[in-house]
Amino acid sequence: MKKAIIFVIIVVIAIVVLIANSDYILKKIYKIKYEEYVEKYSEEYSVDPYLIYAIIKAESNFNEGALSNKGATGLMQLMENTAKEVAENVVMEYESGITLYNPEKNIKLGIAYFANLKNIYKVDSVALAAYNAGSGNVNKWINENIIKADGSNIENIPFKETNTYVRKILKDYEMYKKLYEE
């Protein structure tokens, strides 16, 4: 009986500690890294940095050496051709096999790319779909009335991976704002 009471007390204390430290625990899951680059380039390209953290979390979980099976590279998982094009547009030197593994350059290119998509599509959810599936697919879905340009029926994205991706990032974006906005 005495052991059961001690066990219950320990469980209650553990629950109280977890509840008291829930933000601490959540901040370990929804971490912020590379803030000097994310903040700098988010401001430069007028993108919410918390959305960028959510993208990086989904794309690479902050692993600067990440390489997808499709060849997307680095923190923001950029494809080589896309990165080269963006680098040209932002007048930045680009070295194949090197630039995308550099955290600052990868973040700058990823944010510049996302900002361009946001300028085209105007809505975060639609820009995120384009970031994941490509503008060609998103334009097709809009033209065929599969999704609306205003993002109001984004749940209709026909690619399961992209549909899940957009939902995850928007959910994580809300969590980042809740945890870190002052």
Active site residues: 59
Please provide residue 67's backbone torsions phi and psi, each rounded to the nearest 5 degrees. -140, 120
Rounded to 10 degrees, what is the CA torsion of 29, 30, 33, 34?
A: 150
78 forms beta bridges with 73
| Residue from 62, 47, 166 nearest 108 by CA | 47
- The pair of structure tokens assigned to 47 is 């993108």
Q: Is 34 left (phi over 0), alpha (psi -120 to 50) or beta?
A: left
- The pair of structure tokens assigned to 63 is 């692993």
Amino acid sitting at position 84: K
Alpha helices in the chain (DSSP H): 2-20, 22-29, 35-44, 49-60, 80-89, 103-121, 124-133, 135-143, 160-180
